Amino acid sequence: MRSFFRTLPSRTLLPVAAALLFGGCEMLEFSPNDHRAPDRQQDLTAKNLARLNQNPLPAGDTLRFVFTGDSQRFYDEAEDLVKSVNQQAGVQFLIIAGDISDFGFGREMRWVDDHLRKLKIPYVTVIGNHDSVGNGRKAYEAIFGPLNYSFAYGDTKFIMTDTNGREYNFDGKIPNMPWVNQELKDTSTRRHVIISHVPPQDEDFDPAVRDAYVTALRNDPRLAFEMNGHRHDFSIGEPFNDGVTYINSYGFEKRQYVIVTVWGDKQFRLKKVQF
């Protein structure tokens, strides 16, 4: 290699070296904050919802989905989780309750997707606090999609919202309550499920918005339950003693996930699965 470079005029060394160094790369990344992604890893939420809609759930049918959270840097666990979920019969999709990445890097989100795209079923996500640091929100929007969105499947409307108040310096605007309230007013489905990353009883949830959020959920007659990540361990309960059930997910590192089965108005069952 040294003798090869000696035979070249000095003005050609830089472009030749660059070609040798980067010629086999899919994409140049000049900064860890670079959130560019190939076409196949852009707008993943819309693409996965399109896949889900190819297999509609008739009204009145039982809904079953996988619930987990906090994939972060647990790539080996992601691979094993996919293998386990692919063996589960009758589940329609998978939900990750935020913290797909650890440092908000687009590259991390793409690494996790490299594993999750091997699922036999679609998956959807909400943004976590780790996904919000640095350039993370831009990366999440480019790779996955909106920070707040909803979709209906069968008899259920899923409301996916950003609750990472600390990452907005507790500005009193996260979660976006006008948006949440508008979504909860929708009467087109039999039941509602709201999913976010930081639970409202957590210190990372903006205290200025807590009462409004909890009250909105309490007053929704269609709400079946609320779901979160962030705490890396499973829990279920009524922390505000108001009849609203809050369910927290396992983190990937716990090597467990939950299969949620929903039927009727608000009936549901949870099954824990180790992998």
The sign of the dihedral angle between the CA atoms of 206, 127, 187, 57 is negative
Whole-Å CA distances, 139 to 108, 113, 204, 216: 10, 13, 22, 30
Query: Tens of pLDDT along 241-254?
Result: 999 999 999 999 99
Order of strands across the sheet that contains 156-160: 149-153, 156-160, 191-195, 223-228, 246-248, 235-237
> Is residue 94 over pLDDT 70?
yes
Query: Tens of pLDDT along 122-169?
Result: 999 999 999 999 999 999 999 999 999 999 999 999 999 999 999 999
Q: How far apart are CA 171 and CA 149, in angstroms?
A: 21
pLDDT at 32: 62
What is the reported pTM?
Answer: 0.87
**In terms of pLDDT, which residue wins out, 37 or 237?**
237
Q: What is the mean pLDDT of the chain?
A: 90
User: What token pair was written down for 79?
Assistant: 């691979």
Query: Tens of pLDDT along 183-238?
Result: 999 999 999 999 999 999 999 999 999 999 999 999 999 999 999 999 999 999 99
User: What token pair was written down for 89?
Assistant: 């019969």
